[in-house]
Amino acid sequence: MNKKVIIGCFIATGLLQLPSVNAQVKVPFSTANKKVRVIVSDNEPGMRFKTTETLKFQDSPQPGETEVSVFVDPAKSFQTMLGIGGALTDASAETFYKLPKDKQKELLAAYYDKDKGIGYTLARTNIQSCDFSSDSYSYIKEGDGALKTFNISHDRAYRIPFIKEAMAAAGGKLTLFASPWSPPAFMKDNNSLLHGGKLLAKYYQSWANFYGKFIRAYENEGIPIWGLSVQNEPMASQSWESCKYTAEEQRDFVKNFLGPTLAKQGLSSKKLIVWDHNRDLLYQQASTILEDPAAAKYVWGIGFHWYETWTGAGQQFESLRRTHEAFPAKNLIFTEGCIEKFDFNKINDWSLGERYGLAMINDFNAGTVAWTDWNILLDENGGPNHVGNFCFAPVHADLRNGSLIYTSSYYYLGHFSKYIQPGARRVAAVASRDKLLTTAYLNPNGKLSVIVMNQTDEKIEYSLWIKGKAAKTTSQPHSIATLVVE
């Protein structure tokens, strides 16, 4: 039997699969004819997104034990990047419109322009008031369980136009999700928007309907809502807008009310995020909700914050890793983080950004698909905030003189958002010494972005090593670098 007949027999039996005419063959990543552009930010004057050198790869078949290396393997890929961004709150919007027009334009470019700025693609906003609003408010009148008085006119003053300007600056599209801080006061057992309290069972359906009303209202304004979380910080009884749910209560609300209601209203495509609170209880919450298939089918992902440090503990990255291992089909999304206890005297501290870099590298390496900072803009007092809960933002407006102050957090965030595109795949990356932190992504355009962070007081010589090829460089003290292989 000749070769053509043998191959024909294998094809006919399905033992040999030939690629279709339109099939795309994945080409392995190669360092051949590629260089490494090194972009650095550190605490030295002028060192912000500074291209410091262009490296060439050299043969390096086996690094020595005394050498420091960052090993990257583009053939081993993990989660896909959804986006990086920040929250468009009442406080940010109100502050924005107090700035001179030229500074408004500067801020939008700084965040959303892919070339001049850091290319944010993700955003969050609040449903009704939150602590970063100038006052407490609701979209309905007291006692209106039927939602007949639903009206978002409050948001049309500042927040809706601000979101539209951000969308335009981002090229016409932002992946936007929304979160409630509290149901209307009459729907809760403490009859208050503030101080926790619980949603009364008789209003479960009314509150589920409320989410749909919000989505429709915003989309009628020309603002698409990509997703929503069930409740901001459901384990906290705060002095500001808050509402408490146990994991079982949130599971049952999603399963019996919110999930089915969104489906009935034609909104099942909206991505539903549970938890939306700190990493420390993440696994317990995720397992309680997701081990119920009737609830899990409505859930796109698990949101988390970084404020578990209020207990005096560190950031609990192991909670993320265990949750991702146990529930790999669900997405991890960082939904909020900021540095608390605003102090204008610390606004130039480099350590502000280092906290972001530490969190982002560890969160991404644990499987996180998206990362959302808190307010993108606050004033020189860390507000406005109607309960005095003043915090840092990456950019502050000093309204005393109409200027913008860029903190180190802005630059650390930008080393990720500017060089890692939505659709990028995280690839294997590990440093041979714990003094360097690293993560890496292969972008849809074929460029490889490797983040290297140094929190120490030391200069550290190291090599970027990819499959027997190495490019040598030096990590400066207290620096973050993006190495773009192109």
Contacts of 286 (CB under 8 A, 6+ apart): 274, 275, 302, 323, 326, 327, 330
The H or E element that residue 247 is part of is: helix 247-253
- State both tokens at 169: 């600056």
CA dihedral 352→358→361→364, nearest 10 degrees, is -90
* Helical segments of 71-169, H only: 90-96, 101-112, 153-156, 159-169
Residue type, 424: A
Query: Is 233 a catalytic site residue?
Result: yes
CB-based contact 338:391 (threshold 8 Å): yes
Three-state SS at 309: helix
The H or E element that residue 211 is part of is: helix 204-220
Q: Which of 233, 241, 308, 354 is catalytic?
A: 233
Residue 239 CA to residue 340 CA, distance in Å, equals 15
Of 120, 130, 140, 138, the residue nearest 93 (C-alpha): 130
Q: Which of 94, 308, 336, 354 is catalytic?
A: 336
Which 3-state string (H, E, C) describes 330-382?
A: CEEEEEECCCECCCHHHCCCCHHHHHHHHHHHHHHHCCEEEEEEEECEEECCC
**Treating both helix axes as pointing N-terminal to C-terminal, what angle do 317-326 and 351-365 enclose, rounded to 10 degrees?**
20
Half-sphere exposure of 347 (CA within 13 A, CB side): 19
Query: Is 336 a catalytic site residue?
Result: yes
Catalytic residues: 233, 336
